[in-house]
Amino acid sequence: MRLWLAHTKVELLALLRQPGFMIPTMVFPSMFFLMFAAPNLPTAVAANFSTASFMAFAVFTVTFFQFGVGIANERENPWSSYVRTLPAHPIYRNAAKVATAAVLALLAALVLVLASQQSTPMNLPLERWPRIFVALAAGGMMMGMLGTALAYLVSPKAALPLANLIYLPLAFMGGMWMPPELLPKVVQKVSPLLPSRQWMELVWPAVLGQAWEASHWLAVAAFTLVFALLAAWAQRRDPHVR
């Protein structure tokens, strides 16, 4: 426990010393929401739906870039190479990264909720929040695995541009920015095949108070497993780790 807490403290301090990365990553989803979504949400139902969707977008932003770009940059960092030589199991470092991403994702989601409360008629019943956070956690884990796979598959310099090429289409086509029925017809056909859309199929029933369908949980679990296996394979073949 002490080793995990020590690694988590180091991870958090490292991010606090890089406000140019942490602040935009946490604030961007809320800014996007205020500029493009909030002005078009006249009812509480619409505001609740959009707020939950953008909360997923906030969690996606933090977890995907925290693992994708963050780990990619660490691969050539001398300090990270030194830490890997210490007599401590890698599980502590990995668990610390997960804990750090969870803290930042929660903060980003809370900033989004605060922005929505101040700009829309959002009014989510208290009993729906636990299911919303469960759905957000499941999707955040999935996107974290996708980011980790990307971090080890590409060079550190290519990680950020490639991450953006994956991140923005997945958010748009997955329905994080607008209801799926408002997406272009071509996108509507492709959307159900994407991990982001399967994630949203967990978030939307939670915010609307509807039952989950097992197929969407199975899809998210399958995507998470595939991304985790891909990340493990890519990590083993990475010369910096070896």
* 242 within domain boundaries: no
pLDDT at residue 54, as a whole number = 98
74: domain range? 2-236
Is 241 inside a domain boundary? no
| Total domain count, the chain | 1
Q: Which two tokens stand for residue 70?
A: 């963050």
Report yes or no on 175 lying in a domain: yes
> Would you state the pLDDT for residue 140?
96
How many residues can be counted in the chain? 242
With respect to residue 6, please indicate whether it lies within any of the assigned structural domains: yes
d(Cα 25, Cα 13) in Å, to the nearest integer?
Answer: 16
Low-confidence ranges of the chain (pLDDT < 70): 78-90, 239-242
**pLDDT the model gives residue 2:** 77
What whole-number distance in Å separates Cα of residue 81 and Cα of residue 191? 40
- 32 inside domain: yes
pTM for this prediction: 0.92
Q: How many Å is the maximal CA-CA distance in the chain?
A: 57
Q: Is 118 exposed, middle or buried (0-12, 13-18, 19+ CB in 10 A)?
A: exposed
Give a yes or no: residue 221 inside a domain. Answer: yes
Q: How far is CA 159 from CA 22, 31, 35, 209, in A?
A: 17, 24, 28, 38
Backbone angles phi, psi at 104, to 5 degrees: -65, -40
Question: According to the model, what pLDDT value does residue 220 have?
Answer: 98
**Domain contains 45:** yes
